[in-house]
Amino acid sequence: MKVIRDPIHGYIELDTLTLSLIDSPQMQRLRRISQLGLSNLVYPGANHTRFEHSLGVMHLATMLTEKIDSVTDEEKKELRVSALLHDVGHGPFSHVTESLTKHYTRQRHEDVRAILKKGELGEILNEHGLNPATIEDHIQGKTDLGKILNSEIDVDRMDYLVRDSHYTGVAFGLVDHVRLINEMKFYENKLVVTAGGVKAAESLLVSRFLMHPSVYYHHVSRIAETMFIRAVDDLIQKKILDPFDLRKIDDSRLFEMIRNDDGYAGELANKLDNRKLYKRALYVGFDEVGEGVLRHRKNITRVEAEIAEDVGIDPESVLIDIPKSPEIAEMKALVKVNNRMLRLDEASNIVATLEQAHRDNWKMGVYTPKEHREEVAKAARNFFDVKRTTKQFRLSEIEG
């Protein structure tokens, strides 16, 4: 047994099996996959990777299963391995490239069976009698045991909220994950939070609610990530990059491919390298465009071309970012209070009020180079029929 020092959880123990998995090329690649995409353009300290996050999730999963008597030693081993390997399917810059991977390959980052069956990982799992299909089921939360990794309240969320808060310096990730783990158990084959863990569960949801606009959907990150996605898609369209290779390469390799392009992708890479980002021509919420705007998510390229034509500029000078409809899955987590099973939003008034507040945080953006900002703003407002509202602006919405 060896130990490593983690800045979040302290010492993490590694046995022979986990050490061999960590030394595999598939796990070592995660050292070169950033946890928060391009958020370091906003928070310079946000350079942590999927590798240390995976170690943290394994550590928390181990803590939780040790508290549950009904979990066998073999199941503990399976879950420990599943937790360690749960992110091996991520492409460069984590969730930034996931939409492209899903579009072109129909694979999500949780679809890892093919990765687990091949190469060193496959050999190690086979040597220890572990089935790649079972490991994938745990990772996808399809099993009762897998709910520890992938459910409304899971150890994955616990780790990334605390870790992301630490590395960004944003003091919103104050989740009492130790308390929460101690107050979780299986009841009727369902993972539930006991009454003593409700406050800790509330802190997790409040933390995620605050981190969402401040970190995960910060407008500068969204602009940079939209530019990066278009650069990668340009390489795919020009047959320079095979989308099936996205889950095999790392951040630096993909960025170098973009830099070496002598066309649109290369231009965007130069802007990203020098932080010369597109600006917000339009940045509005449901109160100004209505939820019907979500229908344009499937036709963004066409809308960009129409707005650009209206202004008389190149379509590549207009980028539109329409996030998916906001959801708080954690609200559906089960809580056992006085021998009754309730949803967390039924057991907590605080949680019940977060849903609308979360929707109020949703923003769509239309981005363009600074010199086209006013014209694109006018054309975008006309296209999306933006309502005029009287509101107080946040400082972050007033800046650049």
pLDDT tens for each residue of the chain, 400 residues long: 899 999 999 999 999 999 999 999 999 999 999 999 999 999 999 999 999 999 999 999 999 999 888 899 999 999 999 999 999 999 999 999 999 999 999 999 999 999 999 999 999 999 999 999 999 999 999 999 999 999 989 999 999 999 999 999 998 767 889 999 999 999 888 899 999 999 999 888 888 888 998 999 999 999 999 999 999 999 999 999 999 999 999 999 999 999 999 999 999 999 999 999 999 999 999 999 999 999 999 999 999 999 999 999 999 999 999 999 888 778 788 888 888 888 888 888 888 888 778 888 899 999 999 999 999 999 999 999 998 765 555 544 544 4
Q: What is the pLDDT of residue 357?
A: 83
Distance CA 196, CA 383 (A): 51
Output the CATH code of domain 2-169: 1.10.3210.10
Distance CA 392, CA 397 (A): 10
Q: What is the pLDDT of residue 391?
A: 52
In the chain, alpha helices (H): 16-22, 25-29, 50-66, 73-85, 98-105, 113-117, 119-127, 132-139, 155-168, 177-182, 198-211, 219-237, 251-259, 264-273, 286-289, 300-311, 344-347, 349-360, 373-383, 395-398
Distance CA 134, CA 139 (A): 9
pTM for the predicted model, two decimal places: 0.93
Q: Is 173 helix (H, G, I), strand (E, B) or coil?
A: coil
Q: What is the pLDDT of residue 400?
A: 47
Q: What is the pLDDT of residue 399?
A: 47
149 in Cβ contact with 112 (< 8 Å): no
Domain definitions of the chain by residue range: 2-169, 278-325+362-400
Q: What is the pLDDT of residue 394?
A: 52
Q: Convert 84-109 to b/e letters by CB count within 10 Å (16 or more is b).
A: bbbbbbbbbbbebbbebbeeebebeb
30 in Cβ contact with 54 (< 8 Å): yes
Q: What is the pLDDT of residue 390?
A: 54
